[in-house]
Amino acid sequence: MPKPTSQTTSQKASPLMVRLDSESKQALTDAAELRRISVSDYVRTVTVAQARREVASARDQTILLSPDEQLAFWQSLQAPPKLTPAQKRLGAIMRGAK
């Protein structure tokens, strides 16, 4: 009896086509070569794992931010934008002042 493959034990593979600029494709190719796997295996391994983490995070009501996103978020909290005169007037109206 033939040994079942991972495709036959779960679901059949479904193709996915993605259009990338040449720089992005080269980055994927380089990353795959570093791991000594195919580009398809790299994309499947990395993107599916990341997608699963993001879905799990969303279900837990937790927001995951990359280090760059964390820094940008922190910097935006440290330097809130200056209100325009119209925004200041609206705030005064909402607080009941004139």
Domain with 92 in it: 65-98
The CA distance from 26 to 68, in Å, is: 22
pLDDT, position 8? 47
CB-based burial of residue 93 (10 Å sphere; 0-12 exposed, 13-18 middle, 19+ buried)?
Answer: exposed
Is residue 12 included in any domain, yes or no? no
Digit-coded pLDDT (tens) for 6-30: 444 567 888 889 999 999 999 999 9
Considering the domain architecture, whether residues 46 and 77 belong to the same structural domain is answered as no
**What is the per-residue pLDDT across 43-76, written as a single tens digit (0 to 9) for each?**
999 999 999 988 888 887 777 789 999 999 999 8
Residue 18's nearest CA partner among 44, 57, 52, 36 is: 44
Q: 42, 35 in Cβ contact below 8 A?
A: yes
In a domain? residue 6: no
Q: Do 95 and 72 fall into the same domain?
A: yes
The answer to whether residue 9 sits within a structural domain is no
Could you give the number of structural domains in the chain?
A: 2
**CA angle, 17 as apex, 46 and 4 as ends, to 5°?**
65
